[in-house]
Chain A
Amino acid sequence: MTKLKLDDLKKIRDRVHNETMLREGGATAKVTVHMGTCGIASGARQVMEALMEELTLAGRRDVTVTTSGCIGLCSEEPLVTVEILGQEAIRYHFMDKNKMRQVFRRHVLEGEIQTDFALGKGTEHKE
């Protein structure tokens, strides 16, 4: 890898923007498991394992799974964010393996938001 110049930063930004924003790059859904210490302590690893198993079972290549840090609401961990192309993100709280399986099968695969487990929709980042 050669060293970056300022232009390269902009190129990376644009490329990743597209990927993470689900606009292009082929992904239609992204699932983020929030894995700070608080999340891990309350079971985020198990949630992630269940998610990976489900993903393998489903064999879907257009679903990306990623991790991120704490969103601040440590008392409601494990938290998971599901983003489907063209729809508002949904944040789920107090997740466990079973809820994760259900969210994956019903929301990610079939588009049916699992209202019972949801904390909120959209994002808290005002921009």
Chain B
Amino acid sequence: MIRFRSHLLICGGTGCHSSGANEVKKALEAEIRKAGLAEEVRVVETGCNGYCAAGPVMVVYPEGIFYQKLTVADMPQLVGEHLLKGRPVERLFYREPAKKEGIPGMLDIPFFANQQLIALRNKGLIDAEAIDEYIARDGYQAAGKALLEMTPAQIVDEMKKSGLRGRGGGGFPTGVKWSFCAATPGDVKYVLCNADEGDPGAFMDRSILEADPHSVLEGMIIAARAIGAHQGYIYCRAEYPLAVRRLNIAIDQARVYGLLGDDILGSGFGFNVEVYQGAGAFVCGEETALMRSIEGQRGMPRPRPPFPAVAGLWGKPTVLNNVETFANVSPIILKGGDWYASIGTETSKGTKVFALTGAVHNIGLVEVPMGTPIRDIIYTIGGGIPNKKKFKAVQLGGPSGGCIPEEYLDTPCDYEAIIKAGAIMGSGGMIVMDETTCMVDMARFFMDFVQDESCGKCTPCREGTRRMLQILEKICHGHGVPEDLTLLEELAGMIRESALCGLGQTGPNPVLSTLRYFRNEYEAHIIEKRCPAKRCAELVKFVVNLEKCTKCGQCFRACPVGAVSWEKKQPARIDRAKCIKCLTCISTCKFDAID
């Protein structure tokens, strides 16, 4: 078998054919033979490349060079220069069509202009694996100040003054938490960082750990000093390999510099950190379960009190904070609690990082001052809803949270205001949903998640969430009865009151909030046996609406099992015997013409 040193993939799609690919290919092959390269390089004709406007196009491997607008006349040069001498012919390179406008300044781009960066202050600026670059951005200055110039009580005071509240979801004031632990006597105490990040759709903490691991370490050092701890653990899920790797690199570098270990910065104070990898169970993000897991036991919550500040890891006084909480600590120590408290609202200070995802243009990570209306995050920063779809609701706080509909979009980012609107601030997951989302199906998804992740220790959560899921499935399948709604509410109330930990206590929230705002959708499923968003397959008829059908044939092309028949200028028809109810035709149809 001949091994070719180079492969030339020339496009043989219809577009390139009509722009002369055939002739170009013949000329190319002739040149190759002439140059005696027939045994070394191979010409392959491929399917459509997609850049038809620039055709004929060709990609040359191993270099991966993309040539465009090739002509027969170009072939001698291409073979002579590129294939013989290894010098790619630059004038034939692919160029994206030129944009008319100039380049906007980064701060003229709404996505960036409306953000305020504290926790993400170093994002994209520094090499996460180079401690010197963190130091260059005032890194470890706050640790120096805390260790050399401040007493533990002063650190706690500054944190209290800042008004920072835990970013892991609970929103408990960080300074107060530290003061409890500082007040508990004991020579062995622990500082833990919660990097479990289990909410579906959330990636704030991962991003901070990947981009700026030292900011978390520095926050932990300051916390350790405040409470008198000498050992810390970062509990990070093993599914975050890059975060784990960068954390370990950061820890090693900090040790070499003496920023971790004994006698940090000559202060006499010592502190060490280790990464503990979790296996990714959602419940292990709950503080008591997390500590069990670090102890080597099965991650199950226990009743509180005693609170971790009194009896935490191995029964010792412990402070546990979220990644983002720790990332806020250094700026607070450097610039002062008053500075931080000057940002935000009455009860919610500083900024919050959100992982913006779902039906929104700019999927990504945003940090905004507290008080920013949710509408601004979705529309100004997020760029609104793609594909000309209508906004339906935004889910905050994942499976423990709730959704906010259009009427409440002006709710500001503020712990209390969001609770009033029926959701929670949560850890920062923000999932935007458009009109194609069925709210019953969405509630079912989260209930499925919760019952799946329930550790099974307490009956209300183990049995209750399963019962709720069964009812929701029944409704989605079209077998719901009106009493189901009262039963759902009753069960939700009971689980809320009696579950052992936050997982169960908050698990019914997505159901309750959708019942509050989208009760009509539940009723449509139950009474009319209809899913308004056409997401619940059992409730879709799969019949083409002849008035709306534009005869475009998109559904015909999309159907994976050939259940749609269509001819030019004829409306489509769906053969329901062949149909597997995969909903592909529904999502493909731009005219809402399938009922």
Contacts and interface: CB of A to CB of B under 8 A. Distances in A.
A and B co-occur in one complex: yes
A62 B57 CA distance: 35
A120 B104 contact: yes
B364 A9 contact: no
A75 B130 CA distance: 26
Interface in A6-46: 6, 9, 12-13, 15-17, 20, 32, 34, 36-38, 40
A3 B258 contact: yes
Determine the main DSSP class of B at the interface with A.
Answer: loop
Interface in B462-490: none
Given A5-B266, A37-B206, A125-B125, A73 B362 contact: yes
A91 B106 contact: yes
Contacts of B263: 3
Interface string B119-132: 01111111111101
Contacts of A122: 105-107
Contact of A115 (B103, B106, B144): B103
Contact of B138 (A4, A13, A40, A67): A13
Contacts of A63: none
Contact of B96 (A15, A71, A117): A117
A88 B103 CA distance: 11
B106 A120 contact: yes
A26 B136 CA distance: 18
Interface in B90-111: 90, 93-99, 102-109, 111
The 9 residue pairs across chains A and B that have the minimum distance between CB atoms: A69-B211, A3-B258, A71-B124, A16-B136, A124-B112, A75-B363, A72-B365, A120-B106, A74-B364
Interface string A60-85: 00000011111111111001010000
Given A69-B210, A71-B124, A72-B365, 10 more contacts: A3-B257, A3-B263, A17-B136, A68-B126, A70-B124, A70-B365, A71-B123, A74-B364, A116-B97, A120-B105
Contacts of A12: 132, 135-136
A9 B147 CA distance: 14
A115 B99 contact: yes
Determine the main DSSP class of A at the interface with B.
Answer: mixed
A118 to B, nearest CB: 4
Contacts of A13: 135-136, 138-139
Interface of A: 1-6, 9, 12-13, 15-17, 20, 32, 34, 36-38, 40, 50, 66-76, 79, 81, 88, 90-91, 97-99, 101-102, 105, 113, 115-126
Interface size class for chain B? 35 or more
Contacts of A4: 257-259, 265
Interface string B262-296: 01011000000000000000000000000000000
B125 A40 contact: no
B409 interface: no
5 contacts: A2-B258, A9-B140, A36-B211, A98-B64, A105-B90
A75 B90 CA distance: 30
Contacts, number: 170
Contact of B128 (A68, A76, A102, A115): A68
Interface in B412-431: none
Contacts of B554: none
A66 B129 CA distance: 10
B377 to A, nearest CB: 12
B566 interface: no
Interface string B329-355: 000000000000000000000000000
A36 B207 contact: yes
Given A4-B259, A16-B133, A125-B121, A69 B207 contact: yes
A110 to B, nearest CB: 12
A9 B109 contact: no
Contacts of B130: 66
Contacts of B121: 125
A40 B242 contact: yes
Contact of A69 (B104, B123, B140, B362): B123
Contacts of B37: none
A34 to B, nearest CB: 6
A1 B363 contact: no
Contacts of A16: 132-133, 135-136
Nearest to B140: A9
Given A36-B211, A122-B105, A9 B93 contact: no
Contacts of A88: 105
A20 B106 contact: no
Contact of B210 (A50, A70, A124, A125): A70
B104 A68 contact: no
Contacts of B113: 124
